Amino acid sequence: MVQQQKHCLIIGAGDLGKRIAKKMDQSNYIVHTINRDITKLPQDYHRYVLDLGSASMRFDLPIDFDHIFFTAAPDSHTQQSYQKIYLNSLVQLQDVIERAKHVYFASSTGVYHQNQGETIDETSLTQPTRFSGTVLLQAEQWIQKHSKNHTIIRLSGLYSETRNRLLDLLQNNHPLDYARISNRIHIEDAATMFHHISQLKTPDTLYLGSDSHPSMQWDIAQWYYQYIKKPWKVKKPEKPLNKRIMNHKILETGFVFQYPSFKEGLQTCL
């Protein structure tokens, strides 16, 4: 008996979504994507051109997707842009989301308010102080209400070979907030994490996506200057700020990071 191929939908096939789509394609899924620009997506995908959250957006397919990955990102860091992508578009896609077997939503550790060096895991309190965290938390609650099964992955700072703001600042000799703890995840690890969770028999409803070594920006800067063989004379701050994102829960599922710390990841960018 021939096994019927499964269908997955990537909502917002940008850098992260494209990588997830490729992994699902390699796992023999029929891949559907929603994006404003489809020119950089393989032609064998089912590609739909849509402006997510726009008043004119219409999308209806008679497919009960096995997996839906929501990995869209706003155009700008404004409340209007966040609401358009994370709230308006979900309402417009409600029918297809409610029919899916499982929905995976890319959220952010920005939903956590703690900033005095606290250790954060999936049980930590969320009281966001910025509009971005507030909107994302509202979107998470919408997903919880309107999906049959869901998994929310709260990602820390995404970076890649072409997207690395901290490295850009270091290379331009820009002073950093050295006491600030940097929580980061290489975008390839993030994509692999989404794929890994989708293949679990009974995935949980919430995971934190961050590498295994949250580090003060002072430690990252010190490593960078040693790497380029330049002197480093900045005194290490006594009190760390921000928060430490723990990833024990995803590691317990058997997930293995390709870039477990900033050292492995940044070396791919240098």
- Tokens describing residue 148: 């049959």
Q: What is the model's pLDDT at position 135? A: 98
Determine whether 113 is exposed, middle or buried from the number of CB atoms within 10 Å of its CB (0-12, 13-18, 19+).
Answer: middle
Task: Report how far apart, in Å, the C-alpha atoms of 254 and of each of 115, 142, 197, 215, 264 are.
Answer: 30, 29, 10, 23, 20
pLDDT higher than threshold 90 for residue 263 = yes
- The CATH number for 7-159+185-213+243-258, chosen from 3.40.50.2300, 3.40.50.720, 1.20.1200.10, 1.10.150.240, is 3.40.50.720
CA distance 112 to 119: 11
Distances (CA, A) of 132 to 70, 74, 112, 151, 192: 16, 10, 11, 20, 25
pLDDT computed for residue 192 by the predictor? 98
Q: Is 41 helix (H, G, I), strand (E, B) or coil?
A: coil
Distance, CA of 21 to CA of 19 (rounded, Å): 5
Q: Which structure tokens are listed for 84?
A: 């358009």
The token duo for 213 is 């070594």
Residue 2 has pLDDT above 60, yes or no: no
Minimal CA–CA distance to 104: which of 49, 58, 155?
155
Which of the 8 DSSP states describes residue 259? S
Domain ranges of the chain: 7-159+185-213+243-258
Tens digits of residue pLDDT in 215-225: 999 999 999 99
* In the predicted structure, residue 107 carries a pLDDT above the cut 90: yes
Residue 1 burial (C-beta neighbours within 10 Å; 0-12, 13-18, 19+): exposed
Model pLDDT for residues 34-69, shown as the tens digit of each residue? 998 888 899 999 999 998 988 778 887 889 999 999
Alpha-carbon torsion (117, 123, 124, 129), positive or negative: positive
Cα distance between residue 65 and residue 237, in whole Å? 50
H-run or E-run covering 76: none
Separation of alpha carbons 167 and 169, rounded Å: 5
C-beta atoms surrounding 100 within 10 Å: 22
Give the model confidence (pLDDT) of 202-250 as tens digits.
999 999 999 999 999 999 999 999 999 999 999 999 999 999 999 999 9
Contacts 24+ apart (CB under 8 A), 86-91: 86/135, 86/136, 86/138, 86/139, 87/53, 87/135, 87/138, 87/139, 87/142, 88/52, 88/53, 89/11, 89/52, 89/53, 89/57, 90/139, 90/142, 90/143, 90/146, 91/142
pTM (2 decimals)? Answer: 0.96
Q: Would you say 179 and 237 are in contact if contact means Cβ atoms under 8 Å apart?
A: yes
Mean pLDDT of the chain: 94
Q: Is residue 209 helix, strand or coil?
A: strand
* Residue 243: φ, ψ to 5°: -150, 165
How confident is the model over 69-105, as pLDDT tens digits?
999 999 999 999 999 999 999 999 999 999 999 999 9
Euclidean distance between CA atoms 214 and 60, whole angstroms: 42
Per-residue confidence band for 1, with pLDDT thresholds at 50, 70 and 90 = very low
Q: Tens digit of pLDDT for each residue in 149-194?
A: 999 999 999 999 888 888 899 888 888 999 999 999 999 999 999 9
